[in-house]
A and B are shown apart, each in its own frame.
Chain A
Amino acid sequence: MPKLVIDGTEIEVEDGITLIQACEEAGVEIPRFCYHERLSIAGNCRMCLVEVVGAPKPVASCAMGVNDLRPGRDGEPPEIRTNSETVKKAREGVMEFLLINHPLDCPICDQGGECDLQDQAMAYGVDGSRFVENKRAVEDKNIGPLIKTIMTRCIHCTRCVRFMTEIAGVEELGMTGRGEDVEITTYLEQGMMSEMSGNVIDLCPVGALTSKPYAFAARPWELRKTESIDVMDAVGSNIRVDTRGREVMRILPRNNDDVNEEWISDKTRFVWDGLRTQRLDRPYVRIRGKLKPATWNDAFAAIARKVKGKKGAKLAAIAGDLAGAEDMYALKDLMTRLGCANIDCRQDGALIDPAMGRASYLFNSGLAGVEEADAILLVGCDPRREASVLNARLRRRWRAGTLKVGLIGPEADLTYQHEYIGAGPQTLSSLASGKHAFFKTLKAAKHPMIIVGSGVLARGDGAAILAQAAKLADAAGVVKRGWNGFNVLHHAASRVAGLDIGFLPGKSGLDTAGILKAAKAGKLDALFLLGADEIDMGSLGKTFVVYIGTHGDAGAHRADVILPAAAYTEKSSIYVNTEGRPQMTDRAVFPPGDAREDWAILRALSAELGVPLEYDSLAELRSAMFDDHRHLALIDEIQDGDDLDLKKLGAGSARLGKQPFTRTITDYYLTNPIARASAIMAEVSAMKTGLGKTGTDG
């Protein structure tokens, strides 16, 4: 534990950290451009210069280890000055050099107002420049539909290059040329093929890389910032929704070390234009085969005509991938009051049985648990597409060394090395019986991990696959004292909450497959879809369909009555992520037009149907929900799961199929109604499919 004197204050710091970190611990701010705590150290911007007493020159504090400083002549701790005349002069000099080739186009720059260079030039620079020659100009690069480049502004900090290489794991950005002619580019200006690429916009300390869809749309100081949660996948990335008036202008990540660190995927970041288009902003009722705009009362009356007084067994409800916990709780409540047990939150048909305990469907080790793992088996899942942020974590763990990854399922470019074990259930069962070499790897590992993709559970033999995985976990000792490495990776944001509150078939109730079958056979009077668009609408027959949702997607096209609801940025709602962490979104904007929050729609509908729900406000609904499901009240805390009974889980008698696993997500950019409504997502999707599957496709 070396001791340092920083600006006259003695401080003891950890071994192995750098001077810039030590200064931060001492509460001293050091300006920087190239240094970033989650990236490797480059030391090329020189902005973080400090004075080390006794050293002949100023020292780049980001690249100097505290252990490398020598004590003074009489053994006194090394002294660092950050407020001396030398440091001031050094910073002014560096800043003057940085600004030599930087254009003075702040008034038309999208980074203006949140620009590190602007802020630091104000704080540490001087007002003039002695440079009278011509400034350099650099051609802008086209690197895809998401990132706009104005390369003349680039100060060559290489944060973007390091991010793409180290975190995203797609070596596409590079620095070409040398000296004054250095440029940041992709190879021959190809578009970036990573689903994490948008993060370079946040990393860029200047306005060289900005958001293309957001270009010239707003200034940071005129945006209202709302902290919220993302629902594009089941990771539950923490986001900040920036709005102006009634529109979401952009989405940025928030830091949460346990969930998404400070990254978000491109889908999370750029889906916002989908919140404006294809929106359902008024109720519709189908009259003589055509959907006609209607009032809420007409719509409710139309539903009441079909539902009121009908047998509960002839009703059904399916919840979609983006439904909040409150919405599902209210719908479940309503259906129960109507005497209906045919409800299911697993629109993909995943055969997850919550009777086995909550631990049987959670990412039990926690997302951060990946950091400890030393052997990971991926069963039919592609974390890069199903949970991009988690994949970045897996990659970092792999980069740290000694991580062995095995993959069963369709071969995929995961951005890290992995052993391809096999394609389907047979490989899994041979692994479970200890026949495959990777079994030994798992068995020998201190913190082994199995990640089962929720996609494989949606197969006909899903239960058997989960049982096999449990058997393997049991045999390989994946669950042990203080470590539970048996993980299910969901890809739908609503799924865990749905399972938690039991939005599942009741006694003799039908599940999704059963509901669809009954609908096709004409045995259902009415079907409620709570934002469920991923089911086969063609098999609903002549059933009366009520669609409660946000976008004119598959469900709305088929619906007989459409009730317009609120998207995730328009309501406060609880989502439980794949590791079982309840997180709450916040309302950033109001729903468009006549659209209302889902729970309020259900409350109003319940009164029309003569079975009023017992809560008149969101707070009352929440307190009822929390009474039933205590853990949902513990926002951002993972409730310790019940002990996972692998023996019981593995004892299933279901038969394994022979079909190899297939991709759960075929088009990463178009997985839900919001993304499908987004022009940006469509453009990226087209770019990537247009270039063919090259192994780096996302």
Chain B
Amino acid sequence: MKETPLSNCERRFLLRAIEEKKRLDGRQTYDYRNIRISFGTDYGCCIVELGKTRVLGQVSCELVAPKLNRATEGILFFNLELSQMAAPAFEPGRQSDLLVKLNRLLERCLRNSKCIDTESLCVVAGEKVWQIRVDLHLLNHDGNIIDAASVAAIVALCHFRRPDVSVQGDEVTLYTPEERDPVPLSIHHMPICVSFAFFQQGTYLLVDPNEREERVMDGLLVIAMNKHREICTIQSSGGIMLLKDQVLRCSKIAGVKVAEITELIQKALENDQKVRKEGGKFGFAESIANQRITAFKMEKASIDTSDVEEKAEEIIAEAEPPSEVVSKPVLWTPGTAQIGEGVENSWGDLEDSEKEDDDEGGSDEAIILDSIKMDTGIEVSDIGSQDAPIILSDSEEEEMIILEPDKNPKKIRTQTISVKQEKAPNKKPVKRRKKKRAAN
């Protein structure tokens, strides 16, 4: 979808207002919009709101092979995405000029300033290093994306904890959060971008321009600085000529703003740390009230439960007694059999007795069974019966009984004790059982 065009009257009004030192939202020239930082449930997840501009930051890590020329350094990766949700003008899946510019600036601000100690991310030199990935998503666009994104990136990095690793000889052990507490990244300093918008060829200057001010500005100066007043990166765009004094003044303002924002970030991180330790609700998870119902609500229907027990007893008393279970298999045709009347499941009994059989079969076999466990169907003969051989089969089938009427009585093997005892000499079913041990 196309961007809403800016009308002539808006442009004129904005410029005239700036000349009169007025801003649309009532801010002064050097005022920032309100910054709000909230954290997610996981480490390394945060949402930074700068007025109505909103950026989600998420840090993740991975063990990878290092770059050839930097064998002892971890890898930092930044990715800012402008989703269509932020503004309808952003197209998905296309690298717009703005996006490339913002990503590049972010990389320069955070990677090239060496704010993260990449050497501490090395696990085994030349073989394994941590790759730290910072994903930033713009959730709503109301101007000054770069400032919000840079704050979100550094906050997410400060908040992030990577799993602990230990190296002993050639062995690298990665510990889960339960085994050892995850370790924070070592961060030397916190670079933060401050944007200055210039109007009327540099005559007027505004800090933290919002979306409409960005549209009418002539040029933009972005200064990334840490609280020690060290400039990490500086970029001027829009093609305006700035005087030396102007740049110096901007850097002074940036120093003040960065000090304020750094303090805010530290306070937010401390707060989150405290709440986490106390085990209370933290992050933006707390904003989701689980009491609220957005769907239809049904009133609890009251049910009369006063005479339930009597009724139940009555029903039981009136009901016919359950039919007797025939445990002996009834043989209809070769290969089919019926046990009972389909009223009660007698398979469980069968299995139990089988277990007993196994135990009887000797401790050696039992050990083998336990150790194999998988994939091997084992046929174990009944110890009490005739000297039938022990057959191991690979069948995957759970359980199979083949019944054949009137066969060689020598091959008879019985399953359940009850059946065994009832063995009739003239009609003896032959059963072969294949059982998958894994099922137990």
Do the two chains belong together in a single complex?
no
